[in-house]
Amino acid sequence: MRIAVLTSLYPSATRPHEGIFAERRWQGMLARGHSVRVAHPLPYAPFPLSLAARYGELAKSPAREERAGIVVVRPRYLHWPRAARANARRFADKGLAALLSTERPDVVVCDYAWPAGVAAHACARERVPCVISGRGSDVLQVAGEAGLAPELASALRAAGHWCGVSQDLVDRMDELAGARRGVLVPNGVDLTLFAPRDRNALRAELGLDPALAVVLVVGHLIERKDPLLALRSFLAWTKSTAPFAKLVFIGRGPLEETVRAAAADAGMAHAVELAGEKPPSELAKWYGAADALLLTSSREGRPNVVLEALASGLPVVATRAGGTAELLEGLPHALAGTRDADEIGRLLAFVLRERPAPELLRARVAELSWNAGLATLERLLESAARAGVAA
């Protein structure tokens, strides 16, 4: 198949950690013998908005590059604050034009449902089969507080084919479209890279005190991940049971300084480390060296960090958000019933005291290889390409 991918999140030479799971998916499809081309439109703003650091950083991304055999093009589109609908149309128009300017694809995949899914209408006009792929906030937040449910529902109906990384997400997309056509296409996990390791050796390599209880928070430091709730939950636990503990945030985002200041205000700056982003090879070491992963998101698709932690044999304590429960349901004290920091802290204390066997945790994701997910995706795309576009 000739697969054209329109996406709002993909790694680049200047932002190598963004969208790595999307890249892994399409590298996998390339390895299965398909042709893959990616359009990753980037926003620009008129002066003086263009002076914002975000736009300056994006401007450094190459307009075209080849990554592991996949050509990625990055046309620019005009982006105005508080103009979500118009911005999405410009994003979709620029991206789809770039994808259709060369060899006609057998199928277009709108990877991240919003804003890419808006292109489904143009795909229908161009008679190109289209599949919309949902990953989390691109469906849940867009259809929720962003108030764009009618637009997303219209895009799904125009495409006629969609998938999501969790069953919860698929159900939401089906509900929006008014048809049960969604397909579960979960992300896989690299079971070789993420596996139980020698904890003491990794702690020595990372410079971690072997006597400390180390809790990880992995992900962007943004509102929906709620890193401040993670910090409060850690503090609730440490004040009562664990004075010798360390909380490590791996990731970056606009709340970084807020988290740092909150830790200092609580007198716990010495126990909180903001380690920045890490490539998968380094992240695997942190999973192997830690005692637990803490995830306090308000919304999730099917969090890759939970897949990776479980594959590494690392216990997880998480809020019940989206597809997180699909991975943790049935594990004692892994899921918080509320967003109360004291309750989450008690769950953390239990899990660290009664740490589940690594083999039990790894068994949870043993069937979630990348190949299994890619095979499901391949069947969906082939079906969409064969079906063509409805008259």
Q: What is the pLDDT of residues 69-120, one digit of tens each?
A: 999 999 999 999 889 999 999 999 999 999 999 889 999 999 999 999 999 9
Cβ-Cβ contacts under 8 Å for 97 (sequence gap 6 or more) = 75
Model confidence pLDDT, tens digit, residues 131-187: 999 999 899 999 887 899 999 999 999 999 999 999 999 999 999 999 999 999 998
Strand order in the sheet with 183-184: 64-67, 70-73, 35-39, 2-7, 107-111, 130-134, 162-164, 183-184
CA neighbor of 135 nearest in space, from 106, 114, 120, 149: 114
> Residue 253 — φ and ψ, nearest 5°?
160, 175
Task: Band the pLDDT of 243: cuts 50, 70, 90.
Answer: low
- Output the pLDDT for position 357: 93
Domains of the chain plus CATH, in order, are: 2-188+370-387 (3.40.50.2000), 199-363 (3.40.50.2000)
- Output the pLDDT for position 82: 87
- Output the pLDDT for position 48: 75
CB 39 within 8 A of CB 88: no
- Output the pLDDT for position 123: 97
Q: Say if pTM beats, i.e. exceeds, 0.85.
A: yes
In the predicted structure, residue 382 carries a pLDDT above the cut 80: yes
Report the length, in residues, of the chain: 391
Task: Band the pLDDT of 390: cuts 50, 70, 90.
Answer: low
Average of per-residue pLDDT across 380-390: 88
In the predicted structure, residue 55 carries a pLDDT above the cut 80: no
Model confidence pLDDT, tens digit, residues 273-304: 999 999 999 999 999 999 999 999 998 888 99
Cβ-Cβ contacts under 8 Å for 316 (sequence gap 6 or more) = 292, 293, 294, 295, 306, 309, 310, 328, 331, 334, 351, 361
Average of per-residue pLDDT across 27-53: 89
Model confidence pLDDT, tens digit, residues 187-213: 889 999 999 999 999 999 999 999 899
Distance CA 340, CA 168 (A): 23
Share of the chain above pLDDT 70, in %: 97
Model confidence pLDDT, tens digit, residues 205-236: 999 999 899 999 999 999 999 999 999 999 99
- Output the pLDDT for position 51: 67
Average pLDDT, the chain: 93
- Output the pLDDT for position 161: 97
Structure token pair of residue 33? 């013998």
